[in-house]
Structure 1
Amino acid sequence: MRITLTTFLTLDGVMQAPGGREEDTSGGFEHGGWLVPFADEGMGRFVDEVFGRADAFLLGRRTYEIFAAFWPKVTDGNDPIASRLNNLPKYVASTTMDKADWNNSTVISGNVAEEVSRLREQPGRELQIHGSGKLAGSLMRHDLIDEYNLLVYPVVLGAGQRLFEEGGLPTSFEPAGSRTTEAGTAIHTYRPAGRPEYGTFGLDQ
């Protein structure tokens, strides 16, 4: 399976608590729910497309808990997101959880990079990460994410957890898709393309 990451970002790279005021207040974050005013049909279409390719999910503990508190309550079997999240295999990376009660969930508590590498070798389409910033950062340092879907919203917050923190692995990317929604959300899909190359602009001789 390919490992893909889909996440919502502000213009200044913040990914924390896009969906609600109390979704994630860690670090004193006060701007939860910043995505909601920009939600539109274009965003919905893209997210539905992404979930339609899922064969399993890989989530960090905090994202898992947020999802598990909401999606089991959506019982419409035709809902393109709930039907997959509630039924497909889910792997949650956590050093503090002993078990995961949501249907078809498994806790990964050992060496996450090794476990994810093994999952990556399994047959299937996509093992999808949604949100899960700390988990994503850990996997990025091991070159384990094959594709990034970055939904960038026209808002700046100035604080909050960012996807690309200092100390990350220098990586070059190639574009694999781009579109803009009615509300101005820029959706970019990138695939890693090795280490960056460097150069210098000089005067013509």
Structure 2
Amino acid sequence: MGQLVVVNFVSLDGVMQSVLSADEDRDGGFDEGGWVLPYVDDVVEQVMSEATAGAGALLLGRRTYEIFAATWPYGDMDDPAVAAMNAMPKYVASRTLTDLPWANSVLLGADLAAEVGRAKAATEAETAVLGSGDLLRTLIGHDLVDEYRLLVFPLILGGGKKLFADGGIPRRLTVRISRGIARRSDSPPD
């Protein structure tokens, strides 16, 4: 059985809303969109490329699917991550979508926990969850996540949708790998 792996960007205060674009998700009046872009470097690109090219499938919520389907099919097919994302199965959780134009996309049924269980059983490879905040909170609530690969960025947004909602089920996790150092931007360098 494959593993369900969350690969996501979060701020120090746990916000994951609207990481790449100001217009990605303005729910709740969020106006800090695009906050990841100033921090994208070779390390971030390598981690994300490995996560996507190494996955056997994707599991996406509706909003993330629509954003990805509008760009990834038209990317550089010589890029291993782009080629992998276009070729792999993409499982989509949505109550409103009926047409999935991106190749190899499968709409999941109403019993999300059972559907995700079947998708995990269908592969020995990892199924990566990227973005997809509402879906993630459902997956976390059903204890379906096997691993979190979080890229934590050195900023505090003060509000926005968080990866882990208040009132969630307590969990103890084990840190396997940790890289990076955060310091205030007004602090002198070492």
Q: TM-score, normalised by structure 2?
A: 0.91
Stretches of structure 1 that go unaligned for 5 or more consecutive residues are 186-205
1:83 deviates by 1.1
User: Partners of 1:169 and 1:140 in 2: how far apart?
Assistant: 8
Distance 1:89 1:3 in 2: 14
Secondary structure (helix, strand or coil) at the match of 1:174 reads coil
In structure 2, runs of 5+ residues without a counterpart are 184-190
Which has the bigger relative contact order, CA under 8 A and spacing at least 6? Answer: 2
Cα contact 2:50–2:81 (8 A) shared by 1: no
Q: Deviations over 1:93-146 (max 9, x none)?
A: 011111211111011131101100111112321011001111111111111110
The answer for the alignment partner of 1:13 in structure 2 is: 14
**Where does residue 179 of structure 1 map in the other structure?**
179
- 2:177 partner SS: strand
Shift of residue 33 of structure 1?
0.4
Which residue in the other structure is 2:148 paired with? 148
Cα RMSD after superposing both structures: 1.5
CA distance in 2, matches of 1:13, 1:170: 16
Q: What is aligned with 1:200?
A: none
Q: Which of 1 and 2 has greater Rg?
A: 1
Which residue identity does 1:79 align to in structure 2?
Answer: D
Q: Which runs of 4+ in 1 moved over 2 A?
A: none
- For residues 134-181 of structure 1, what are the alpha-carbon distances to aligned partners after superposition, in whole Å with 9 as ceiling and x for unaligned? 111111111111000011101111111000001211111011111128
Deviation, 1:27, is 1.8
Structure (1 or 2) with the greater strand fraction: 1
Q: Which has the higher helix share?
A: 2
Contact 1:10 1:156 in 2 (8 A): yes
Q: 3-state DSSP class of the match of 1:179?
A: coil
Percent of aligned pairs sharing the same letter:
43
Equivalent residue number for residue 86 of structure 1: 86
Give the distance between the partners of 1:49 and 1:105, measured in 2 at CA: 21
Tell whether the 8 Å contact from 2:89 to 2:105 is kept in structure 1 after alignment. yes
